[in-house]
Structure 1
Amino acid sequence: MSTTVPTLATPGQPQPSVKTWLMAARPKTLTAGSVPVVVGTALAFAEGVGRWLPAIAAFVGAVLIQIGTNFVNDYYDFKKGADTAERLGPTRVTQSGLISPRTVMAGALVCFGLATLVGVYLVAIAGWPILVVGLASLLCGYAYTGGPYPLGYHGLGDLFVLLFFGFAAVAGTYFVQAGMVSTAAWWAAVPVGGLGTGILVVNNLRDATTDVKAGKRTLVVRFGSGFGKAEYVLLLALSYGTPVALLAMGLASPWVLLPFLSLPLAVSPLKLVLKSQGAALNPALGGTAKLQLVFGVLFAVGLYLR
C-alpha cells in the first residue's frame, strides 16, 4: 500500500503518495543543487575556513530551492502546454494527473518557504550578500517557468542554471563559511555550473519539437539542434579544462585533476547528444546528471587534498 501525505488535491483526484512526490522532485536532477555545495564546502575546508553548520544549511537550502523550482516547472509547463501527451521525457505529475496543479504549486511554496527559513539563519551569520543571493535565487526559481516573463521560455534558462547552480551556489557556500570568496572558489564554480547547464541542454534538445509547439523559445529552439550540440561540447570542455587551469595558476594541487577519472562517463551521453534526438536522449539526461555527481565528488576531493 502506498504511503500518502496531506494534500490539496481536488475531489475525485488520486491522493498523492510519497512516490509521486519523489517523482515530482526529480531526484536524478538534484545533483545540480547538491554538488555545488559539496564543492564549495570542500574548498572552504581545504583553505582552513570551513564550518559545518553553515555548510549543512547551505546544502538544505539549495536542495529545497531546486525541488521548489522543479515543482513550479511541473506546474507551469503543464499550464503553458509544454508538457502534453506528446511528452518524450519522464512522467510529469501534473500533466499525467498524478497530483493536481494546485497541490503541486502548494508543494513549491512549501519548499520555498522552508528554504527562506534556512536563509534567515545564513543571513544572520553571513550578512546582506546572502540575503541578495537568496532572494534572487527564490525569485528566479519561480520565474524560470512562472511569472510574466518566464526565463526558460525566453532562452535564459541556460544562463539561469550557470549563474545560480554554478557561481551563486559554489561562491555562496564558500561565503557563508568564510565571509569572503577566494579566487579558487570562483573558478571552481565553472565546471559545476557547466555540467548542471549540460543537463538542461540535453533536456532542451530532447524536447525541441514540443517546445516549439508550446512557444517555449529555448536556445535550442532559437538557434537549432546544432547550436545545442555545440553548447554541450563546449560545456564539457570548460568543465574538464578548469582543473587544469586551477593547477596551472597554483590554486590547487595535482589532486585537482582527479575529475579526469570521470571521463569515461562522459562518452556515452556525448555520443547520444551528437547522434540522437527525441526520446533517445533520455539516457543522456541521466548520464549527464551522473557525470556531474561523479565529477563533482572527485573535484571536491581534489580541491580538498593539498
Structure 2
Amino acid sequence: MSNELADPVEPTVALRQVPLQCYFLATRPAFLSVTLVAVLIGLASAFHDLGRLASMTALATLILALMAHAAANVLNDFHDADNDDGNHERLFPYTGGSRFIQNGVLSRATTGRFGHGLLAAVVPAGLGLVWQSGPGLLIIGLTGLVVGWAYSAPPLKLASRGLGELAVTAGWLLVVVGTDYVQRSGFASLPLVAGLGYALLVANLLYINQFPDRLADARAGKRTLVVRLGPTRARWGYVALALLANLSLLLGFILGMLPAMALLALLAVPLSWRAGCRLWSNGEHPEPLAPAIKLTIAAAHVHGLLLALSLLFMKGFSL
C-alpha cells in the first residue's frame, strides 16, 4: 500500500459539520499515544515498587495527561501558524501542524481559545490529584504546564531557540514521574531512570520531524537545532539521541536500578537504526523521510511498552 493511501489526508472545511469530531481531530489524537505510553511506564514503575495500583487514580492521571498533551498540540498549532502557512515541504500528518488553520477548518483565534481552554481545564483536575497525592505533584504539574506552554509560545519559544528537544525530554519525563508520584505519594528514583530513555526517544521524534520542516522554519525565523546545524551535521543529533536513550537504559541496569528484563526494551534499537540510516541518506530531501519518521514513532512505542511490561511482570499483577 502506498504512503498516500496509508496516511490520512489533510482536514477540510467539511469537518465543521461535525463539531465534536472537528475539535477532537484538532488535538491530533493519533499522536497522543506517546503520552499513553509514558503514563504506562509511570504506572509500571510504581507497581514494581508497591505491588499495587489505585485503578481509579491511574485512570484520572491518564485522562489528565492526555488533556495536557492535547492542549499543547493545539497551542503549538496556534503559535506556529505563521510557520506552517509557508510549509510547502511538509509530510502530513507528521510535520507542518494539523493544517486546521491553514485549510480554513478553524480560525487562528478559535484554535487559540480552544487550546487555552483545554489548558485551563487541566488545572482543577490536577489540583484534585494534588489534594489526593501530595504537594510534590503541584511542582511536577506546574513545571509540565510551563514547559508545554513555553515550547512554542512567546516570549520563550523554546523550539525556536534550539531547545525543543530539551523541552520535550523534560515534558515526557515529567509525565512518567508525575504518574508514579500519584500512586506512591512521593518521589522515587525508578521513574526517572525508567522514563529517561523513553523521553529521549520522544525527543528524537521531534528532532527528525524538523528535517522536512527546516526550510519553512528557516524562512519563518524558527531556529531549531536542524536549522542551526544544517541537515548534514544535524544527522548526528539523531544518532546521539538514540544512543543516549539506550545507554541510559543500560546504565540503569548496570547500577541495579532496573531489572534485567528491562533490557527487552533494547529490541527497539533496530527500528532507530533503520530510521537513522534512511535519515543519513535523505536528510536534505523531505519526501523519502516519511518511513524514517514512522520507524522513529515505532521505536519510542516499542521501547516504552516493553519497558513497562518488564516492570509489571517482575511482580504478580493485581489491582
TM over 0.5: yes
2:161 to 154, 157, 160: 154
Distance change >3 Å, CA 50–CA 136, structure 1 → 2? same
AA at the equivalent of 1:111: L
For each residue in 1:55-107, what CA deviation from the matched residue of structure 2 results, as whole angstroms up to 9, or x when unmatched?
222221211111111111111211x3343252412152111212221221222
For 1:189 and 1:226, the matched residues in 2 are separated by 30
Instruction: Tell me which moved more, 181-190 or 61-70.
Output: 181-190
The structural deviation recorded for 1:270 is 1.9
Partner of 1:123: 130
The structural deviation recorded for 1:208 is 0.7
Partner of 1:5: none
AA at the equivalent of 1:46: H
Partner of 1:27: 29
Q: Which runs of 5+ in 1 are unaligned?
A: 1-9
AA at the equivalent of 2:255: M
Contact 2:279 2:292 in 1 (8 A): yes
Partner of 1:238: 244
The structural deviation recorded for 1:114 is 2.4
Percent of residue pairs identical: 28
Distance change >3 Å, CA 87–CA 117, structure 1 → 2? farther
RMSD: 2.4
The structural deviation recorded for 1:196 is 0.8
1:88 to 90, 99, 109: 90
TM-score, scaled relative to structure 2: 0.84
The structural deviation recorded for 1:110 is 2.6
Contact 1:64 1:115 in 2 (8 A): yes
1:164-243 pair list within 5 angstroms: 164-166=171-173, 168-243=174-249
The structural deviation recorded for 1:178 is 1.1
AA at the equivalent of 1:265: L
For 2:216 and 2:262, the matched residues in 1 are separated by 41
AA at the equivalent of 2:88: E
The structural deviation recorded for 1:227 is 4.1
1:109 to 116, 121, 135: 116
Contact 2:217 2:223 in 1 (8 A): yes
Distance change >3 Å, CA 136–CA 254, structure 1 → 2? closer
Contact 1:204 1:220 in 2 (8 A): yes
SS in 1 for 2:69: helix
For 2:196 and 2:147, the matched residues in 1 are separated by 20
Contact 2:37 2:305 in 1 (8 A): yes
For each residue in 1:123-164, what CA deviation from the matched residue of structure 2 results, as whole angstroms up to 9, or x when unmatched?
102232222222232233222222323122111211110111
For 1:265 and 1:61, the matched residues in 2 are separated by 30
The structural deviation recorded for 1:213 is 0.1
- Whether 1:299 aligns to 2:295 is no
Q: Which runs of 5+ in 2 are unaligned?
A: 1-12, 93-97, 315-319
